[in-house]
Amino acid sequence: MNKIEKMLKELCPDGVEWKKLGEVCKSINTGLNPRNNFILNTHDANCYYLTVKEITSGKIQFTDKTDKISIDAVNIIQQRSKLEIDDLLLSGIGTIGKVAVVDINTDNWNCSESVYLIKPIQNIVYTKFLYYVLQSDIMLDLFKNKSVGSTLKGIRKNDLINFTIPIPPLEVQAEIVKILDNFSELQAELQAELQARKKQYEYYRDKLLSFDNILKRGGVVKKLGEVSTMIRGSSPRPIHSFLTNDKNGIPWIKIGDVATNDKYITNTKEKLTIEGSKKSKIVNIGDFILSNSMSFGRPYILKIKGCIHDGWISISNFEKYLLSDFLYYILTTTQIQQGFRQSASSGTVQNLNIDMVKNVDIPIPPLEVQEEIVNILDKFERICNSLTEGLPSEIAARKKQYEYYRDKLLSFDSPCHSERL
């Protein structure tokens, strides 16, 4: 019998009590949307306006892309949802079930209506215990099953306050939180080490691929457009008229088919008819494509033949001068990526057009030097990004271990209730 089992037997021999979420919280409210209340990003907007996207990995993370509001707007929202340290934030619309503990100063920000502000009654349930409960897989399934809405799903407040959750004695809650915090801290340490390794990798990648280093090794500098063929994608319109479920359809490559850190494109969610492909641009296995409107200039290598829309630029016919993997690493260097971003931001509309990409200078060493550099960087890449070896593998294993113990520790015999955890 482990420590928690002994505590449960001693403190609640008849079983753990279950209560509705609304019974163990002082209040559960959302923030406010602008509407007639206030305006976003005005000249006097110096405070943050938190939405679902600012809740990341259990933390509140403001960025330069976070919307801003004035202090008057913050005060308006505070009348509805007064933020305090140790409150909980829960995303209630869109990506439902993201949770964060309020552990930062609350004077200069507040939330949108997409986020619930939950105030636990501390002598009944600890904030961190409730945080772990709301994160559990079973609770996420409950959110999914109770969400409503045709296009944008959400959880209604009346449903949320009636969810029934386990409320063990505070001593048991504290012990569970202690165990899960240890798991979380270990994951955070591993993530921090991985980020440090990625920075180290980026430093060596940029050094190996610097113009000075390449030129010293017999390289030359050429415009990317001089050593490759480029085309901009094209979209058949109206697009819905050319989509098909036919297995012989042509893969329709969209931004949503790739993740930021992906190197290859291997499949697509949608396909075009043959007629639709004639109104688009065909790309082939081994070609590169770059996004020209989101994640400017991020390269991807095609492992499928397909069609691209006008948000992509393709690069092909570079094999005489460049190894595919070498070109990939060159295009991901800090210098090239910063150049793409600066070019995209130079006009009134942020867009990376094909002429900008054609005019990018790239250093090109002899093919045998390219192969040597690729072999070195491939090893770094595996250490930093492979899910089957190195730190990413350990992080993935620790995450599964944490989720297993979290759900096991929060598994209590429950009353028969259709909306329980």
3-class SS string, 11-66 = HCCCCCEEEEHHHCEEEEEECCCCCCCCCCCCCCCCEEEECHHHEECCEECCCCCC
Please check whether residue 30 is in contact with residue 53, taking contact to mean a CB–CB distance below 8 angstroms: no
CB atoms within 10 A of CB 312: 23
My answer on whether 103 and 234 are in the same domain is: no
My answer on whether 234 and 303 are in the same domain is: yes
Structural domain contains residue 320: yes
Structural domain contains residue 336: yes
My answer on whether 120 and 234 are in the same domain is: no
- Residue after which a domain boundary falls, among 313, 332, 364: 364
Give the pLDDT band of residue 387 (cuts 50, 70, 90).
low
Which tokens hold the place of 247?
């297995």
Structural domain contains residue 147: yes
Structural domain contains residue 150: yes
Predicted confidence at residue 281, as pLDDT, reads 96
Give the pLDDT band of residue 168 (cuts 50, 70, 90).
very high
Beta bridge partners of 20: 164
My answer on whether 245 and 105 are in the same domain is: no
Q: Are strands 250-253 and 288-291 parallel, antiparallel or unpaired?
A: unpaired
Distance CA 62, CA 78 (A): 19
Share of the chain above pLDDT 70, in %: 94
My answer on whether 354 and 290 are in the same domain is: yes
Q: Is the dihedral of CA 395, 396, 398, 402 positive or negative?
A: positive
My answer on whether 150 and 26 are in the same domain is: yes
Question: H or E stretch including 165?
Answer: strand 164-167
Distance CA 367, CA 321 (A): 7
Q: pLDDT digits over 91-108, tens only?
A: 999 999 999 999 999 999
With H, G, I as helix, E, B as strand and everything else as coil, classify residue 262: coil
With H, G, I as helix, E, B as strand and everything else as coil, classify residue 255: helix
My answer on whether 154 and 248 are in the same domain is: no
Structural domain contains residue 19: yes
My answer on whether 104 and 230 are in the same domain is: no
Among 22-36, 282-296, 317-331, whose mean pLDDT is lowest?
282-296
Structural domain contains residue 418: no
Give the pLDDT band of residue 389 (cuts 50, 70, 90).
low
My answer on whether 264 and 161 are in the same domain is: no
Q: Exposure of 125 by Cβ count < 10 A (0-12 exposed, 13-18 middle, 19+ buried)?
A: buried
* Domain of residue 121, residue span: 15-167
My answer on whether 159 and 241 are in the same domain is: no
Q: What is the CATH number of the domain that holds 80?
A: 3.90.220.20
My answer on whether 26 and 133 are in the same domain is: yes
- Residue after which a domain boundary falls, among 167, 185, 206: 167
Secondary structure letter of residue 226 according to DSSP: G
Please check whether residue 90 is in contact with residue 102, taking contact to mean a CB–CB distance below 8 angstroms: no
Between the alpha carbon of residue 363 and those of residues 254, 289, 338, 345, the distances in Å are: 30, 20, 16, 24
Q: pLDDT digits over 334-363, tens only?
A: 999 988 887 766 655 567 889 989 999 999
- Residue after which a domain boundary falls, among 330, 348, 364: 364
CB atoms within 10 A of CB 272: 26
- In sequence order, the 6+-apart residues with CB closer than 8 A to the CB of 158 are none
Our count of domains for the chain comes to 2
Q: Are strands 270-272 and 229-232 parallel, antiparallel or unpaired?
A: unpaired
Q: State yes or no: pLDDT of 416 exceeds 80.
A: no
Structural domain contains residue 241: yes
My answer on whether 267 and 335 are in the same domain is: yes
Structural domain contains residue 194: no
